[in-house]
């Protein structure tokens, strides 16, 4: 075949976290700017498919405003772009059942919600996992294998490797020479994890999956979960689309983008299109307290900007000992400034990553359950890390506790 016009153009985006709040500040303006921009991109890139790989909402029980925002966007997108197909997958922040819910209304239409792994009698329901994709002349032009985030209890007789092997086999058979897109919401080794906003995922005691889950046959593997847009080294093109904007201060330097994936007979081409950022993310320090206060006072900011667009700010203060007035002095300096505080970090002069003991960490919100478990084990029993079976039991318990909390 010599025709190099794309058979299919797919916009891959992820981790929208609709309903997100950053230290109590809402992100609705940023979501609106992103969704309006995305609508234009779908049109200008002449996309046939919009794919969102999980964490569409920030929490399992999202506010009505977040659900309304999604439904209005889908309505506008499908009305404005004739023939557009949309696939939305469940992530670990989402309630699988809540994501699945609209599919009862939508049936085999253009919008697909896959919150939980489609199953029938314990086995994968390939009729629902595999979604046909059509080009602008409504010709079948490819297939998409919809695999949402899988909790250990969702896998049944499968492991992730056997699940992906079976889905890839069935997808390749169905595709019969047309390109296959494989999807997932999981942490694949080699991906870059942000410190704060991606919850740890543990499957069978394993923190991250190997990129060998994906072989060379799919034309493109679309992943969600990590918020930094990035490629994963694997046998085929594997990408995290990343989130539309920073969801924690550790993500403020990411170059957020959407991936425009053009599938051609000879392979796939990916263009990253940077997402405009309507709200700036500032950071000061780490400085000694006096210098941090001076730096805040020196900020030149436009007072006419509406409050919902005020920049976010993180302040890092270097400390030698107790600083009882740290918080109040920083807050006082910020008072007259049109900025929204995300967090104040106290950085000890001597602190380094290697010597940081999770049990004496200053901030409870930043402790990971595994590290606390390992530290308590070391304290009480000395020396080594917890034995494998105990670690696996703890991992299982943690997943159950988190799942129970989310599904409430």
Q: Which residues bind Mn ion (CB under 5 A)?
A: 55, 91-92, 225
Q: How many CA atoms lie within 13 A of 163 on its CB side?
A: 27
Pairing of strands 238-240, 230-232: antiparallel
- For the chain, the straight-line distance linking the first and the last C-alpha, in angstroms and rounded, comes to 53
Q: How far apart are CA 135 and CA 109, in angstroms?
A: 15
Nearer to Mn ion, 30 or 55 (CB): 55
Q: How far is the CB of 394 from Mn ion (least distance, A)?
A: 21
Q: How far is the CB of 251 from Mn ion (least distance, A)?
A: 13
Nearer to Mn ion, 7 or 232 (CB): 232
Nearer to Mn ion, 85 or 92 (CB): 92
Q: How far is the CB of 54 from Mn ion (least distance, A)?
A: 6
Q: Is the Cβ–Cβ distance between 163 and 174 less than 8 Å?
A: no
Q: How far is the CB of 259 from Mn ion (least distance, A)?
A: 17
Q: How far is the CB of 59 from Mn ion (least distance, A)?
A: 12
Nearer to Mn ion, 241 or 317 (CB): 241
Q: How far apart are CA 72 and CA 1, in angstroms?
A: 40
Nearer to Mn ion, 91 or 229 (CB): 91
Q: Is the Cβ–Cβ distance between 313 and 273 less than 8 Å?
A: no
The residue at minimum Cβ distance from Mn ion is 225
Nearer to Mn ion, 84 or 259 (CB): 259
Nearer to Mn ion, 196 or 347 (CB): 196
Q: How far is the CB of 318 from Mn ion (least distance, A)?
A: 33
State both tokens at 252: 């403020």
Alpha carbon of residue 218 to chain centroid: 22
- CA dist 138 → 45, 79, 83, 267, 367 (Å): 18, 16, 8, 21, 51
Q: How far is the CB of 201 from Mn ion (least distance, A)?
A: 7
- CA dist 293 → 206, 314, 331, 341 (Å): 44, 13, 9, 14
- Residues with Cβ within 8 Å of 36's Cβ and at least 6 positions away in sequence, in order, are none
């Amino acid at each position: 075949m010599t025709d190099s016009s794309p058979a299919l153009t797919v916009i891959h985006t992820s981790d929208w976290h609709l309903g997100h709040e950053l230290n109590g500040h809402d992100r609705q303006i940023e979501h609106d700017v992103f969704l309006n921009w995305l609508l234009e991109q779908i049109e200008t890139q002449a996309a046939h498919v919009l794919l969102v790989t999980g964490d569409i909402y920030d929490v399992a029980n999202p506010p009505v405003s977040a659900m309304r925002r999604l439904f209005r966007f889908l309505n506008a997108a499908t009305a404005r772009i004739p023939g557009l197909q949309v696939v939305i997958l469940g992530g670990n922040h989402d309630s699988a059942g809540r994501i699945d819910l609209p599919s009862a209304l939508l049936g085999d239409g253009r919008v697909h919600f896959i919150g939980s792994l489609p199953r029938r009698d314990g086995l994968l329901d390939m009729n629902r996992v595999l979604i046909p994709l059509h080009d602008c002349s409504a010709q079948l032009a490819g297939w998409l294998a919809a695999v949402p985030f899988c909790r250990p209890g969702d896998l049944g007789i499968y492991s992730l490797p056997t699940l992906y092997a079976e889905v890839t086999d069935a997808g390749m058979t169905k595709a019969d020479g047309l390109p296959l897109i494989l999807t997932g919401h999981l942490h694949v080794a080699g991906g870059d994890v942000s410190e704060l906003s991606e919850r740890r995922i543990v499957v069978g005691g394993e923190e991250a999956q190997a990129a060998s889950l994906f072989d060379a046959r799919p034309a493109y593997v679309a992943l969600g979960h990590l918020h930094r847009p990035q490629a994963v080294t694997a046998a085929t093109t594997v990408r995290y689309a990343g989130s539309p904007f920073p969801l924690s201060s550790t993500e403020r330097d990411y170059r957020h983008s959407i991936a425009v994936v053009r599938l051609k007979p000879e392979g796939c081409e990916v263009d990253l299109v940077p997402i405009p950022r309507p709200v700036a993310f500032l950071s000061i320090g780490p400085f000694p307290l006096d210098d941090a206060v001076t730096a805040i006072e020196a900020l030149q900011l436009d007072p006419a900007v509406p409050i919902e667009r005020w920049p976010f700010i993180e302040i890092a203060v270097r400390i030698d000992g107790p600083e009882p007035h740290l918080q109040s002095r920083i807050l006082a300096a910020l008072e007259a400034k049109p900025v929204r505080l995300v967090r104040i970090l106290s950085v000890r002069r001597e602190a380094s990553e290697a010597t940081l003991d999770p049990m004496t960490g200053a901030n409870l919100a930043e402790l990971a359950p595994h590290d606390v478990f390992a530290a308590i084990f070391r304290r009480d029993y000395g020396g080594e890390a917890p034995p494998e079976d105990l670690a696996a039991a703890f991992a299982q318990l943690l997943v159950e506790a988190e799942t129970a909390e989310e599904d409430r």
